[in-house]
Amino acid sequence: MNSQKLTPRQMLVWLTESAGMTEAAIAQKCETSQPTINRIKRGVVTRPRWSCGVAISDLYDSQYQKLQENSQLSLV
């Protein structure tokens, strides 16, 4: 899935539901607060700071890639 086609909210939902990350862990990796992550995830904040949006996108990409690699390894 390409992060360029997803909103920060959609990426956060995927990170918590599919990648199993907590909001606190996401916040730590994105260098922001858990309440900020929660507000973005709930749609209260629809246009987060640029730096936060980039951090969420980078985290999403890395976690998605890890999941893909793990899926390929289990098929071998």
pLDDT of residue 6: 95
> What is the tens place of the pLDDT at every residue in 17-28?
999 999 999 999
DSSP 44: S
> What is the tens place of the pLDDT at every residue in 33-66?
999 999 999 999 999 999 999 999 999 999 999 9
The CATH number of whichever domain residue 29 belongs to comes to: 1.10.260
pTM over 0.85? The answer is yes
pLDDT of residue 48: 96
Token pair recorded at residue 37:
């992550």
Q: How confident is the model at residue 74 (pLDDT cuts 50, 70, 90)?
A: low
Half-sphere exposure of 30 (CA within 13 A, CB side): 34
Could you list the residue range(s) of the whole structural domain that residue 28 is in?
Answer: 3-75
| Domain tally, the chain | 1
CB 51 within 8 A of CB 29: no
